[in-house]
């Protein structure tokens, strides 16, 4: 990739990524750690096509994502990637079932197959009995389980998880990490896990450390 990204900071330029190279194989699990400000979230946003690098290349499989327009990126993202964030980003007016279905709605219509997939995913993450509950009626761990199910809705090739346990207590965080690793293995989905937690990072097959905008 050789990704570089800078941001203006007052009268100077802040170099966040300085030639970071990253790749992941099908079904692989990779953790990324680093101090605050090391560029972890910036890198994940670039991998997701939510931000543009100043230079470097981004490939989603064989497709040169860095050459796609914003509209093309949006259309391709929902099929290639699943996203899990620290803050869940569930739609508060929709119940758990409808939130999971949003993953499919973003890339097309909703039919019987999509509804069956959402039901199966909610069952897999242990929330079959909570399908009609709104996010405000769910605990933090339950909300993140819904977010994991939503990320898997379209059978993505890669899940990008940015501090998915950051708002959870230790026990619940362990449960969510275990769930992520298990369902990614079952679905043969690659996982990129950005985390401050060394124990969570160690559970991935490959471990990377981002320092000063580069991988150490």
pLDDT > 90 in the chain, percent: 76
Please count the residues of the chain. 216
Mean pLDDT across the chain, nearest whole number? 93
To the question of domain 25-53+71-215 being in CATH 3.30.1330.30, the answer is no
pLDDT at 135 over 90: yes
pTM of this structure: 0.93
Mean pLDDT of 60-71: 90
Mean pLDDT of 44-66: 92
pLDDT band at 109 (very low <50, low <70, confident <90, very high): confident
CA atoms within 13 A on the CB side of 117: 20
pLDDT at 106: 85
Cα–Cα distance between 162 and 8 in angstroms, integer? 24
pLDDT at 156 over 90: yes
Cα–Cα distance between 19 and 181 in angstroms, integer? 29
Mean pLDDT of 2-17: 86
DSSP codes, 44-70: HHHHTTSS--SB---EETTEEGGGS-H
pLDDT at 136: 97
pLDDT at 1 over 80: no
């Amino acid at each position: 990739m050789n990704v570089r990204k800078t941001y203006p900071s007052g009268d100077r330029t802040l170099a966040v990524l300085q030639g970071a190279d990253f790749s992941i194989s099908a079904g692989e699990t990779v953790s990324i750690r680093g101090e605050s400000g090391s560029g972890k979230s910036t890198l994940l946003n670039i991998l997701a096509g939510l931000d543009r690098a100043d230079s470097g290349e981004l490939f989603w499989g064989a497709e040169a994502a860095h050459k796609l327009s914003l509209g093309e990126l949006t259309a391709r993202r929902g099929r290639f990637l699943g996203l899990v964030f620290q803050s869940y980003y569930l739609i508060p007016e929709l119940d758990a079932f409808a939130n999971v279905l949003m993953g499919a709605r973003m890339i097309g219509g909703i039919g019987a197959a999509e509804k069956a997939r959402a039901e199966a995913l909610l069952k897999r993450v242990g929330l079959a009995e909570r399908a009609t509950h709104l996010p405000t009626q769910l605990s933090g761990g339950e909300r993140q389980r819904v977010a994991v199910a939503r990320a898997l809705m379209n059978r993505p090739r890669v899940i990008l998880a940015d501090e998915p346990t950051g708002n959870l207590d230790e026990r619940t965080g362990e449960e969510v990490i275990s769930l992520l690793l298990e369902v990614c293995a079952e679905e043969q989905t690659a996982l990129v896990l950005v985390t401050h937690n060394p124990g969570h990072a160690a559970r991935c097959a490959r471990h990377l450390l981002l320092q000063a905008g580069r991988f150490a």
